[in-house]
Amino acid sequence: MLERINSPGYESLSKPSQEALEVLRRKKAESTALTAAEIGVGIGATTVEMLKVMDGVGELHLFDYEDRVADLIRDIETRGISKGVKLIPHGNGRQTFNSYAWELATMAFSLKSKGLPLEMFDFVYLDGAHSFHHDAPACVTLKDMVRPGGYIVFDDMYWTFNKSPVMNPQKKPSITKDYSDDQLDRPHVELVVEVFMAPDARFEQVFLTGNQKPYRPVFRRVG
């Protein structure tokens, strides 16, 4: 998987998220051993850089399809780049309604049933399906799983199926069976952020630059 970084056809997935890394660096400056999560790993471009920031300490939870998570962890271990960061796989199957949202909810359920606190993450980068049906339940669950002072960074705030080069209805006609015209046209991540994050008094939005409408909004748990 890591061999795809910077190879033809993977240009966009080869660029690590600078916003995620900036926030992870801020958190690392506050505390050495972090529990971090990347939800949607792609080809590992951001994962590899996150490991550098974590500098051999802490835990990194990786969520994606099982085969992707397994490939990525194998590559990281073969190359010896985790340097002591504990990698925790959370792979799911490829069924239509399966995703990291289910994995997170079942994790939360299991913690609750053992009487354990849900708050476990110092940092989460949510960069998965960008579909409301996966990201809304993931977001709602994650809000309770982030520790006070912890961060959630969202990717692709304004991404839509219609704008996607590979998932638009011309390229992938079957998409019209799954989503309405409104759902194809509207950014799902924006809907998730505006409905579930922005009004939640437990979180404040952190602006990394002067841009008040960032493509990768950052939220810090303050309550």
Q: Which is nearer to ligand SAM, 125 or 203 (CB)?
A: 125
Sole residue written with tokens 């590992």: 44
| Residues 6+ positions from 132 with CB-CB distance below 8 Å | 183, 188, 191, 192
> Mask 98-117, x = binds ligand SAM (CB under 6 A)?
-xx-----------------
- Buried residues in 16-35 as b, exposed as e (16+ CB within 10 A): bbebbbebbebbbeeeeebb
- Rounded to the nearest whole angstrom, what is the least distance from the CB of residue 95 to ligand SAM in the complex? 9
Q: Helix, strand or coil for residue 27? A: helix
- The answer to whether residue 65 forms part of the interface with ligand SAM (CB under 6 A) is yes
Q: Which is nearer to ligand SAM, 165 or 223 (CB)?
A: 165
Burial, 152: exposed, middle or buried (Cβ in 10 Å; 0-12, 13-18, 19+)?
buried
Count of residues engaged in binding ligand SAM, rule: CB under 6 A: 18
> In this chain, which stretch among 63-71, 74-82, 137-145, 188-196 interacts with ligand SAM, using CB under 6 A?
63-71
| Residues 6+ positions from 168 with CB-CB distance below 8 Å | 161, 162, 175, 184
- The answer to whether residue 71 forms part of the interface with ligand SAM (CB under 6 A) is no
CA atoms of 183 and 167, how far apart (whole Å): 13
According to CB under 6 A, which one of 71, 75, 122, 127 is a site residue for ligand SAM?
127
According to CB under 6 A, which one of 68, 143, 216, 220 is a site residue for ligand SAM?
68
- Rounded to the nearest whole angstrom, what is the least distance from the CB of residue 223 to ligand SAM in the complex? 27
- The answer to whether residue 183 forms part of the interface with ligand SAM (CB under 6 A) is no
- The answer to whether residue 13 forms part of the interface with ligand SAM (CB under 6 A) is yes
Contact 194, 139 (CB under 8 A): no
